[in-house]
Amino acid sequence: MLTAMSMTASILKLRIGSFVALAALVGVLTAGGAMGWVETVVFTIAVLGASGAAGAFNHYYERDTDRLMARTFNRPFASKTLKAGAIWPVTFAALLAGSLFMGWSVGGTLATVLVFLGAATYAFVYTVWLKRRSVWNVVIGGAAGSFALLAGAAAAAPDFGPVIGPVPIFLAASLFLWTPPHFWALAAAKSEDYRRAGVPMLPVVTDHSVWGPVIFIHVLFLVLLSLGPLFYGLGPVYGICAVIGGGNFLIKSWLLMREDNRKTAMATFFASLLQFALLGLGVFADRAVAWAF
């Protein structure tokens, strides 16, 4: 039972999916509309399902490449625990369709379109088109998470005013800038893995003198952008979380720019995860304070 659950979590990339679902939930909370908790839960599950379908397709499509990388060789399709076959893409498409219908039933058409664009960006633009062809892979592919956040905002948007307000837009743009340095830091730590698999990540195809400053500049603009919501209604609780998480990420990326080693790269990678978590926590806490008072 545990093995089956673990395999399912791996196939659907539920760790990544949970971040995508969190992004959608952040969009719901910052939209300024009124969405009941039942509808919010249903929509969040729909986003998780759509993300899972895209993640499963990524596992299936990348199975040969995954066999070449130490951190992915034991994935179900790469290890041949699950045999490749035409039934799998059909199953993933069915999961996507069901998730989109679920999202549409509570979130409406615009939100559903944005959820679809997020899944399509990850499955086709990133996985099929860019991942093994371009250094821009995680830059453009990073839009997948931003679409999820905007989808949450569209689902919960009020019946008056703009469909998606400035706070969700700032946060979606921040998430777009967050994705490249997050994955570049991981690629810097595991460059031989990516080089062996032929994935042209920035730290693999350029020298440290290039990718180090690029990561730092990305993080600098990300931190500045993440403070934008403070001017459009989010309060000091969010600001404290944004400053702590962003400041830590900025310091770690500065150290990585100065010194190229695996320990510093992984520290930067984990700092990116902490910043993402703190931004989400800041939004949750800020909304809780607003509702309480």
The answer, yes or no, to whether residue 160 has pLDDT greater than 60, is: no
The answer, yes or no, to whether residue 64 has pLDDT greater than 60, is: yes
pLDDT band per the 50, 70, 90 thresholds, residue 159: low
pLDDT digits (tens, 9 = 90+) for 19-47: 999 999 999 999 876 789 999 999 999 99
Q: At what angle do helices 109-120 and 87-107 cross, to 10 degrees?
A: 150
CA–CA separation, 239 and 278 (whole Å): 10
The answer, yes or no, to whether residue 266 has pLDDT greater than 80, is: yes
CA–CA separation, 15 and 2 (whole Å): 16
The answer, yes or no, to whether residue 8 has pLDDT greater than 80, is: yes
In this structure, which amino acid lies at residue 31?
A
pLDDT digits (tens, 9 = 90+) for 184-232: 999 999 999 999 999 999 999 999 999 999 999 999 999 999 999 999 9
Q: Where are the domains of the chain?
A: 8-292
Q: Is the dihedral of CA 83, 84, 86, 90 positive or negative?
A: positive
Q: What angle do CA 175, 178, 179 make, to 5 degrees?
A: 95
Tell me which fold the domain 8-292 belongs to: Tetracycline Repressor; domain 2 (1.10.357)
CA–CA separation, 99 and 95 (whole Å): 6
CA–CA separation, 38 and 19 (whole Å): 20
Q: Is the dihedral of CA 166, 172, 176, 181 positive or negative?
A: positive
Give the residue-averaged pLDDT of 128-137: 96
Helix or strand run (H / E) with residue 17: helix 14-29
3-state SS string for 179-209: HHHHHHHHHHHCHHHHHHHCCCCHHHHCCHH
Structure-token match 């993080």, residue found: 219
Mean pLDDT of the chain: 94
pLDDT digits (tens, 9 = 90+) for 133-144: 999 999 999 999
> What's the predicted TM-score (pTM) here?
0.94
| pLDDT the model gives residue 292 | 62
